[in-house]
Amino acid sequence: MGTLDWLIIVGSLIGVMGLAIWVFLKRKDTPDDYFLADRNLGWFVVGASIFASNIGSEHVVGLAGSGATDGVAMAHYELHAWCLLVLAWVFVPFYMRSRVYTMPEFLERRFSPAARWVLSLISLVAYVLTKIAVGIFAGGVVFASLLPELRMVVGPWTLDSFWIGSVSVILFTGVYTVAGGLRAVAYTSAIQTPVLVLGSGLLTLFGLAALGGWGEFRATLDPDMFNLWKPLIPVGMDWTWAPVMEADRIAWYFNTNYPWLGMLFAAPIIGLWYWTTDQYIVQRALGARDETQARRGSIFAGILKLLPVFIFIIPGMIALALAQTGQFEGLAAMVDAEGRVIPEAAQGAFPLLVMEVLPVGLRGIVVAGLLAALMSSLAGVFNASSTLFTMDVYQKWNPTASKHQLVWMGRVATTSMVLVGLAWIPVIRGARGLYEYLQGVQGYLAPPIFTVFFLGVFMKRVNHQGALAALIIGFLMGAFRLGVDTPVTLGLLPHGYAEGTFLWIVNHIYFQYYSLLIFLVTVVAMIGVSYMTPPPDYQRISGITYATATEEDRSATRASWSAGDVVMSVVLLMAIAAAYLYFRG
C-alpha cells in the first residue's frame, strides 16, 4: 500500500462522513425521515442502496473465499437476482399500499399483533446471528490481510489486526448510521456502489491478465470448479441405497457441498425470503417516493446483483489459480504443499489478490470500495434493526411516545445491536467459511418467514392462528439445529457427537435439506391450522392479498409500470439463463 492508496482511502472515508454530516444537518427528526428517508428516494438510490447493503461482508470476503474453495457453486445465490423481480412485480404493490414501516407491521395488518411480535423477535435474532456479527468479522479479515502486523495493547489484552479492524469498521459505520438514519445509508450507498463495482471489476481484469487470460484461467483450475450443478453424492463414492441408515453413508450423503437438489429447491426459499420479505432489503423499497420508483429500483438492483459472480467469485478463483502457480508469495499461504486450498486462508483471497496484482493507486480504489461494501452492509442492518425494535417493540410498549422519542430510541437500539454482535464473533471465527456460515443460519431461520408471507399474500383463507403456528414451529426447528451445531462449531465438542446418534444425524444433515424440511413442515402447519380454525375477516385484509385487491388497486398498479420496466426485466432473466448455460460443467 503506497501513499497514494492511503490518500484515496482516507479521502473516501472523509467523503462518507461529510455526506453523513450533511444528512444529519438536513434531518427532520421524524420517524418517516429517520427510518424511511421521508419516503422520497428515487429508483437509482433505491437500487444502489439495495445492492450495496447486500454486497457487504459476506460477499467481498466470504463469497471470494467460497470461490477459492468451491468454484462457482455459490453463484446460484447471486443468480437469484430473479427474486428481485418478484419483489418488484409481486410484493411492491402490497407494501407500498400498506404504508408500513416494517415487515412485521405488514404481518400485523394481514394476520394479528402476535404475528408481528414473533417475526420481530425472529428478525432481530437473525440479524445478530448473521448480518451484524458477520459484517464485523469481515472487517477484521480485511484488516488482518492488509495490516497483519498491527497490534494494540488495551489493559491486559493485546488486540491483533483482526480485532482492531472489526472495532474500527463498526465504530465508523455506527457513527454515521446513528446520526443520519436511512437517508445517510441510502445516499452513501449510491456513491459507494460505483466505486465498489469499478474497483472489483479492475481486480478481475488484472487477475486474468496475470494468469494469461480467460483460457489459461480455465485450464489452470479443475473443470469442476466451473460447474454450478454439483452431484448429490461425491464422485467416485461406492454408494448403495440399502441399507440407507448406515452411519457412514448418512454422513457422506448429507454432507456433499452445494448439491443440485438443495440449490434447485432449498436455495430459492432463502432467496425469496431475503429479497422479498426481509426488512434489511425491503426497507429501501419502502423509502421510495411511489410504486414506480420502488419497482424500478428493485429491477435495477436485480441487474446489479449479477455482478458479484464476476467481481467476487471469479477473483476468488483467480487467487487460487495464482496461488497454485507458486509465483505470488502473498497468495502462497492459501494452498498446502500439494496445491490444495486451505479453507481458513481462503477467506482472505480478495484482499490478498488486491495486494498482489494491482498497482499503487488502483489498490487504494479497490480497498476503498471494499471498506465501502463492509460499511454499507453494516449500516443497512443497523438501520433495519433499529427500525424493527423501535416501531415494532418500543412503540408497542410506549404508544404515546413522541416522534423525537422514537428517533432517539432508534439510535439507542443501533448502539445496543452493535454490542451484541461483537459478542458473537468467536462463533463465526471458528466456522469453516464465512459465506457458508451465513447461508446455514439463514437456511434455518428463513423458511417459516417465507411461508407466512407468500401464503399470506396468495391464499386469503390462511389466518393468524396458522401464521403463528408456522412461525413458532419453524423458529423452534431452526433454533434446535443451531443449538446442535454451535457446540461443534465452537470446538466445545472437538470430536462431535457419537456417530449414528440422533444428534449426530441432525448435525450432519446438509443445511439446505434441513431448510427444505422446515419449509415443508411450516407449510403443512400453516394450512392445516388455518383450515381447522375460522377464516379471517376478508374485509379487514382488503387490498393486502391478491384475492382481496380492489379493481382500483389493480388499475393503479398497472399504471405504475412502463414498457421499459418489462424490457429490463426480460433482459435480466435472459442474462441469468445465459450464466446457467455457461457454468454447467
Range 445-461 average pLDDT: 92
Query: How far apart, in whole angstroms, are the C-alpha atoms of residue 86 and residue 276?
Result: 7
Are the CB atoms for 72 and 225 separated by under 8 Å?
yes
Q: Find the largest Cα–Cα distance for the chain.
A: 70
Give this prediction's pTM: 0.82
> What is the percent of the chain with per-residue pLDDT over 70, rounded to a whole number?
88
Query: How far apart, in whole angstroms, are the C-alpha atoms of residue 433 and residue 73?
Result: 14
The string of pLDDT tens digits covering residues 53-93 is 787 655 676 788 888 888 888 888 888 899 999 999 999 99
Query: How far apart, in whole angstroms, are the C-alpha atoms of residue 517 and residue 519?
Result: 5
Are the CB atoms for 128 and 418 separated by under 8 Å?
no
Of all residues in the chain, what percent are helix, strand and coil, respectively (each to 5)?
75, 5, 20
Q: Is the peptide bond before 93 cis (omega within 30 degrees of 0)?
A: no
Q: Hey, what's the cell of 388?
A: 424493527
Q: Which pLDDT score is estimated for 337?
A: 75
Q: Label residue 329 by pLDDT band (50, 70, 90).
A: confident
Q: Label residue 438 by pLDDT band (50, 70, 90).
A: low
Query: How far apart, in whole angstroms, are the C-alpha atoms of residue 69 and residue 342?
Result: 8
Are the CB atoms for 427 and 133 separated by under 8 Å?
yes
Rg (CA), the chain: 23
Helix ranges (H only) for 212-334 are 214-220, 247-254, 260-261, 267-277, 279-286, 291-305, 308, 314-325
Query: How far apart, in whole angstroms, are the C-alpha atoms of residue 484 and residue 441?
Result: 12
The SS3 assignment for 157 reads strand
Please tell me which residue, 579 or 383, carries the higher pLDDT value. Answer: 579
Helix ranges (H only) for 37-160 are 43-54, 57, 64-70, 75-78, 82-86, 92-98, 103-110, 113-127, 133-146
* Count of alpha carbons within 13 angstroms of residue 214, beta-carbon side: 4
What is the pLDDT of the chain when averaged over all its residues?
A: 82
Among 13-22, 148-157, 273-282, top mean pLDDT goes to 273-282
- For residue 237, is pLDDT > 50? no
The string of pLDDT tens digits covering residues 28-54 is 767 777 777 778 889 998 998 888 878
Residue 154: CB atoms within 10 A of its CB come to 10
Query: How far apart, in whole angstroms, are the C-alpha atoms of residue 476 and residue 365?
Result: 45
Nearest Cα neighbor of 419 from 182, 171, 196, 224 is: 171
Q: Label residue 233 by pLDDT band (50, 70, 90).
A: low
Query: How far apart, in whole angstroms, are the C-alpha atoms of residue 35 and residue 14?
Result: 24
Sign (positive or negative) of CA dihedral 269, 446, 489, 483: negative
DSSP state for residue 40 in the 8-state scheme: -
Residues in the chain: 585
All domains of the chain, ordered by start, with CATH? 3-385+425-582 (1.20.1730.10)
Give the burial class of 377: count Cβ atoms within 10 A of its Cβ; 0-12 exposed, 13-18 middle, 19 or more buried: buried
Q: Hey, what's the cell of 557?
A: 398498479
The string of pLDDT tens digits covering residues 496-521 is 888 888 998 888 888 888 999 999 99
Q: Which pLDDT score is estimated for 57?
A: 56
Residue with grid cell 437517508, as numbered in its chain: 183
- The enclosing H or E element of 160 equals strand 157-160
Read off φ and ψ for residue 2, nearest 5 degrees.
-95, 175
Q: Label residue 239 by pLDDT band (50, 70, 90).
A: very low
- For residue 391, is pLDDT > 50? yes
Q: Label residue 421 by pLDDT band (50, 70, 90).
A: low
- For residue 251, is pLDDT > 50? no
Are the CB atoms for 322 and 123 separated by under 8 Å?
no
Are the CB atoms for 226 and 585 separated by under 8 Å?
yes
Range 394-420 average pLDDT: 81
Nearest Cα neighbor of 68 from 439, 349, 437 is: 349
Are the CB atoms for 424 and 137 separated by under 8 Å?
no
Which residue type does 8 have? I
Range 308-323 average pLDDT: 89
Query: How far apart, in whole angstroms, are the C-alpha atoms of residue 143 and residue 162?
Result: 6
Residue with grid cell 425491503, as numbered in its chain: 282
> 409-414 long-range CB contacts below 8 Å, 24 or more apart?
410/31, 410/34, 410/35, 410/181, 410/386, 411/178, 411/386, 413/385, 413/386, 413/389, 414/174, 414/177, 414/178, 414/382, 414/383, 414/385, 414/386
Nearest Cα neighbor of 432 from 492, 503, 491, 373 is: 491
